[in-house]
Structure 1
Amino acid sequence: MKKVSLFVKAMGLGLLASASAFAQYNPKASYEGPAKMNTWSVSIHGGPTQFFGDLREYDFYPVGNTNSDSYSERGTWFVGAAVGKQLSHLFGLQLGANLGNLAGMKRRQYFSYFRSNYQQVDLTGSVNLKSLLFGPNKMKHWKIDGYTGIGVLRFKSTAYQLGSGRVQRFTKHNAGDGTVTPAGYEADWVIPIGAAIHYEISPRFDIGLDFRINHVNTERLDATIGGDNSSVYDQVGSRGSFDNTLARKGSSSLDKYGYGSFMVTYKLGKNAIRVKKENGKYEYDTTKGTYHLRWTDPRNLIKPPVILTLEQIDSVAKANRPKDIDPRLLLDSDNDGVSDYFDRQPNTPAGSIVSGAGEAIDFDKYVSAALPGIACAEIFANVQFDTDKNIIKPQYYEMLNKVVELLNKTQCRLQLSGHADRRASDRYNIALSRRRVEAVRNYLVKAGLNDANRIVIDAFGSFKPIGDTSRNGLQKNRRVELRLVP
């Protein structure tokens, strides 16, 4: 039950780490932020190891002498390497591999010591405790991680009698065919739990200290299954002789071992940079390179909005103000559809049909001379309406009939733009100007227009006046503009 409880606790810590990390970011993406970030790293580490189990003389202080009744528990070591993937600023995964050795002794009851070689592979999940507890903007180049996971441990252990060095017990490998190999490697599950402190010394390299306890799912790591008081003296080396090669534990606790290590991490990725303090403040600039997600919260890369004062807004507006428009572009004094700026004949008689240059033309001769199938020149004309009316006056029938004749003979296209004066709401004037455009279009169709698809219609209401608020100006604004274009 203890090993099940231990496993559940470890997995619970891992799930809590995941929940804490992904609460900040989109769970459907490994990284969410305004700029690309580096997320991979590799590390190497090594240091002293320490065993915790039956063959351990003291709980905390390792024995340092080897003589007739003791054996040094010091001088054991390990080395390892890991590949890391940062899933968010708060949560990462590491796939690691270690190899090393262990030693321990016990005078009371056992009068034994052991030596063990081991290999371990594990997958761990880490939580960035520094950023989680203190925020990402404090201790910028420091990182404190808590981690846990699960792995597989292979070990080969031998127990000896203190003083004489006589072999008493050893691990056996069960080949599965009924045979066993003395002093062979055994394998079992291991749950690592630990903490690491890192310091970012450059855009590429971090250094750190790692402290870990590995909870092993067996009591055989020291080649001793303990807790059996019936064989206190172990005179013939039969205590825990492993006749049953599948036995994992006796009545004592499962074995554990730990280590403290020095770690060097190399951060992978292109154009690596780290945040620097400028003018007494840390500033992020993604144009200079790529930050690493281990050290940088993506939210720090989002520039805060700049709130301008009224004076600054006014200064920006003046600096970006376009040049004044020539007022002649907005005027059409003779109401011929061509602005005064381009109008070569600014005083054409009312109702004149003009060219694109604003010069009055003999529309009858133009239509008569038009050759079938050719494109026409740009021509402007207007149809005016009475107040609040969309009925075409008879005086425009002849001109509209000529327009139909020209459209049927040539490849001209016709643009109709409806307008109204300002003596009503915008909504009403838009609808009125549309009715006027439809009236002209319907007249052209009834007059024999072959292809109505060449007509484009627009309705502007009172938003494009060409006259003032006088009676004559209002009359100019109640119109449909006809523009014949190639």
Structure 2
Amino acid sequence: MKSNLFLALCLPAAVFAQEASNTAGSEVYPNTFSSGSAKISQFNNSAKRFNDWAVSVGGGTALMKKSDLTSFYGDEVNWGWNAYVSLDKQLTHTFGLSLMYSMGQTNQRGMLPGVWGATAGVAEAWTKYKQITVLGDINFSNLLRRVDNHSPYRWALHGYAGLGTMGYETLLLDNNLSRYAPNTFPIAVDQKLGFSSLFFQGGAGLKYKVSELIDIETRVMYVMSGDDEFDGGGDLFDTGHPSINYNMINPSRSDDMVTINLGLSFKIGKHDSHLAWHDPMQEIYYRTADLEQNSNELIVCKKGDLDNDAVCDDWDRELNSPAGARVDGAGVAIDMDLDGVIDLYDRCVTVPGTAENNGCPPGSK
């Protein structure tokens, strides 16, 4: 008794385990995890329908903004230049990462306060720099855009933020020390590219989709150097010699720069569209509409039901069941007492009999 009960409990589990092992690891669809739908495929790298790599190049101007010697002096702007190239990887439709290399030069002017300023005049300085940055990219248009029935959009607002390292050379000339102490001055700094000079930059860009392969972008970035010598004022602070205290013109210990660039992004890959311009919600609505307009009709009983027993001829094992006879799932007329007389003609449905006596035992009426 106990052994029979044990088998009764274990047998369904064994059957289920066998079925699960046959389908759980299968790569053939439909399977247990596909809800019976055959319109699915594996989500792997070969199933991608968009590109996610790009190379960007651009250039523009660089201006020293928050510093001791600035690019904005009086009514004049001392223009510099900036250029960049980056390798871009789009991780999702709203976020990506870039490895960017930048180089350029800023030109700035400044004047010491008091009598020393009158003696030295307006000092001129320049900074030549090289930067390597890991930059995060947030696509605000994909993050905030509503799904509607408008044509595919071509404008996108991006936000950028990242950390990097840089190297730079600076030079400062004035009318005092540069003339009387040529062996010591002009003031110069040579900061090698390395982790000793980390900086932060952030900004925004507006992209326009020219084609499936090219985007054009205008980008404004704010660079916080964290160095007081980035503007050309030298690497000394409060020396006790007012004639060289250019780093005390502005109390901030970080010289900051602004870059304004116009650039191009070249999207890499074999697919028609790029992930940065991909909108999952728009695709979901499109798929839903497509399914509604192109519904697949389920056709049953292709061969009909010749004997009208409600069992399709496709799987009816008895195509000529008598009208009114009860049939099983295979379309065979039911004979409950198994006496060879179907229940439609059997007057003794539960007792075996003979056909001559209408399905009743011999001698009975």
TM-score by length of 2: 0.62
1:205 aligned partner: 214
Q: Which has the higher contact order (CA 8 A, sep 6+)?
A: 2
1:300 has 2:309 as partner:
no
1:123 aligned partner: 134
Counterpart selection for 1:133 from 134, 137, 144: 144
Structure 1 residues 372-407: Cα deviation after superposition (integer angstroms, max 9, x where no partner): xxxxxxxxxxxxxxxxxxxxxxxxxxxxxxxxxxxx
Whose Rg is larger?
A: 1
When residues 135 and 31 of structure 1 are mapped into structure 2, their CA distance, relative to the original with a 3 A threshold, is farther
When residues 292 and 468 of structure 1 are mapped into structure 2, their CA distance, relative to the original with a 3 A threshold, is farther
Aligned pairs for 1:51-130 (under 5 A) are 51-52=64-65, 53-56=67-70, 58=72, 63-64=76-77, 73-74=78-79, 76-109=80-113, 111-130=122-141
1: distance between equivalents of 2:129 and 2:348?
A: 100
Check conservation: 2:335, 2:341, Cα contact below 8 A.
no
1:145 aligned partner: 158
Report the count of equivalent residues.
274
2: distance between equivalents of 1:252 and 1:214?
A: 14
Displacement of 1:56: 1.6
Q: Which amino acid counterpart does residue 277 of structure 2 have in structure 1?
A: W
Structure 1 residues 202-260: Cα deviation after superposition (integer angstroms, max 9, x where no partner): 0100001010011112111123258749544x1xxx4469xxxxxxx995330111110
Displacement of 1:269: 1.1
1:43 has 2:56 as partner:
yes
When residues 62 and 325 of structure 1 are mapped into structure 2, their CA distance, relative to the original with a 3 A threshold, is farther
1:170 has 2:191 as partner:
no
Displacement of 1:421: 3.9
Two-structure CA RMSD over aligned residues (Å): 4.4
SS in 2 for 1:44: strand
Displacement of 1:297: 1.7
1: distance between equivalents of 2:352 and 2:168?
A: 97
Q: Which amino acid counterpart does residue 222 of structure 1 have in structure 2?
A: D
Check conservation: 2:71, 2:107, Cα contact below 8 A.
no
Q: Which runs of 5+ in 1 are unaligned?
A: 1-29, 65-72, 174-183, 242-248, 273-290, 332-337, 343-418, 423-432, 434-464, 479-486
Q: Which runs of 5+ in 2 are unaligned?
A: 1-42, 180-184, 321-333, 354-365
Q: Which amino acid counterpart does residue 70 of structure 2 have in structure 1?
A: R
Displacement of 1:340: 5.9
Structure 1 residues 69-124: Cα deviation after superposition (integer angstroms, max 9, x where no partner): xxxx22x1111101111111111111100111111011243642211211000001
2: distance between equivalents of 1:31 and 1:86?
A: 16
Check conservation: 1:466, 1:476, Cα contact below 8 A.
no
Check conservation: 2:239, 2:245, Cα contact below 8 A.
no
TM-score by length of 1: 0.48
1:265 aligned partner: 265
SS in 1 for 2:276: coil
When residues 307 and 101 of structure 1 are mapped into structure 2, their CA distance, relative to the original with a 3 A threshold, is closer
Structure 1 residues 176-207: Cα deviation after superposition (integer angstroms, max 9, x where no partner): xxxxxxxx778510101110100001010000
Aligned pairs for 1:243-254 (under 5 A) are 251-254=251-254
1:327 aligned partner: 307
